[in-house]
């Protein structure tokens, strides 16, 4: 079931440097929500706070009403949060299928002892997860690469593999960190179709960090624009693209004045 994500007054500081200041917004269950802004705006830092890789200095982050700020990433994965990264984190010397199946580890019954002993319930669930992983790869047009080593494939294909791995965990909240970075036009179109399909099913809430405004406009219900760690605007992608403050943040005041 799709999750509700709520941030309230999130602050992040490293030493004397303020990275995020007073950031808050609410993502409704089943929404595709965009997080945009120029380089250095704090987008990935905010993602790291939501996914447990950073602990906010102060503020609240809740998933379906449960406070998760400062929780460990593995704990958040068990609660239904999955994430992809700007630079895919794959086991390059393992096969594509093995990489995807890592996303299903939280669905195995028991713990490390039962897994090592390969008891019948574990074996049955592993086979189910394997079949589901293959189906996800085939849906992404990657069925041909099941047995290929990850290091034999392109960056764009790595993005698809990582997305399949995230989906295999059956998340209620999916965080996509610059999923279109480095993709060809055709791969971006495939990504748009995939995320639209996820949204149409209504079972996953999606939050996307992205510079590719065409993708943001095609996918999102609402966006938040960050600038220097603060929330600059919340609205639709069209509102963000036409707002003078957003234009200034992206291209600079002088260029914005010239464009006006």
pLDDT, one tens digit per residue, over 39-68 is 889 999 999 999 999 999 999 999 999 999
Which residue shows structure tokens 């995939």? 194
Q: For the domain 1-80+171-260, what is the CATH code?
A: 3.40.50.300
In terms of Cβ atoms closer than 10 Å to its own Cβ (0-12, 13-18, 19+), residue 10 is buried
The ranges of the chain annotated as CATH 3.40.50.300 are 1-80+171-260
Residues 89, 94, 96, 99, CA torsion sign: negative
**Confidence band (pLDDT; 50, 70, 90) for 260?**
very low
Report the alpha-carbon distance of residue 231 to residue 243 in Å, rounded.
14
* pLDDT of 87 strictly over 90: no
pTM assigned to the model: 0.89
């Amino acid at each position: 079931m799709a999750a509700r994500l709520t941030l309230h007054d999130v602050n992040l500081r490293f030493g004397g440097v303020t990275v995020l200041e007073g950031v808050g917004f609410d993502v409704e269950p089943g929404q595709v929500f965009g997080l945009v802004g120029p380089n250095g705006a704090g987008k990935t830092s905010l993602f790291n706070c939501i996914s447990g890789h950073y602990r906010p200095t102060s503020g609240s982050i809740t998933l379906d009403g449960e406070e998760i700020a400062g929780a460990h990433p593995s704990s958040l994965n068990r609660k239904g949060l999955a994430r992809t990264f700007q630079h895919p984190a794959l086991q390059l010397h393992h096969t594509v299928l093995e990489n995807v199946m890592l996303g299903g580890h939280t669905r195995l019954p028991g713990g490390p002892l039962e897994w090592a002993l390969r008891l019948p319930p574990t074996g049955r669930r592993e086979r189910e997860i394997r079949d589901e992983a293959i189906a996800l790869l085939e849906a992404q047009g990657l069925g041909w690469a099941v047995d290929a080593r990850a290091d034999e494939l392109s960056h764009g294909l790595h993005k698809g593999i990582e997305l399949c791995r995230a989906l295999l965990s059956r998340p209620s909240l999916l965080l996509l960190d610059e999923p279109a970075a480095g993709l060809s036009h055709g791969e971006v179109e495939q990504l748009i179709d995939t995320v639209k399909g996820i949204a149409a099913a209504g079972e996953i809430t999606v939050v996307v960090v992205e510079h590719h405004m065409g993708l943001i406009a095609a996918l999102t219900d609402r966006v938040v624009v960050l600038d220097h760690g603060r929330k600059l605007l919340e609205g639709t992608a069209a509102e963000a693209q036409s707002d003078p403050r957003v234009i200034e943040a992206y291209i600079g005041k002088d260029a914005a004045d010239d464009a006006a």
